[in-house]
Amino acid sequence: MYKAGPVLSVSHGMGIPSIAIMLHELIKLLHHAKCSSVTVIRIGTSGGIGLDPGSVVITRQAVDATFKPQFEQLILGKNVIRSTDLDEQLANELMQCSNEIAQFNTVIGNTMCTLDFYEGQARLDGAICSYTEGEKLQYLKEAYDAGVRNIEMESSVFAAMCKLSGIKAAVVCVTLLNRLEGDQINTPHDVLVEYQQRPQKLVGHFIKKYLGKV
The structure's pTM equals 0.94
- β-strands 70-75, 56-63: how paired? unpaired
Domain 2-211 = CATH 3.30.70.270: no
Rounded (to 5) percent helix, strand, coil in the chain: 35, 30, 35
Are 30 and 78 contacting, i.e. CB atoms less than 8 angstroms apart?
Answer: no
pLDDT given at position 47: 98
- In the chain (214 residues long), the average pLDDT of successive 10-residue segments reads 93 95 96 95 98 98 97 97 97 97 97 96 96 97 98 98 97 98 94 97 96 81
- Give me the pLDDT at residue 213, please: 78
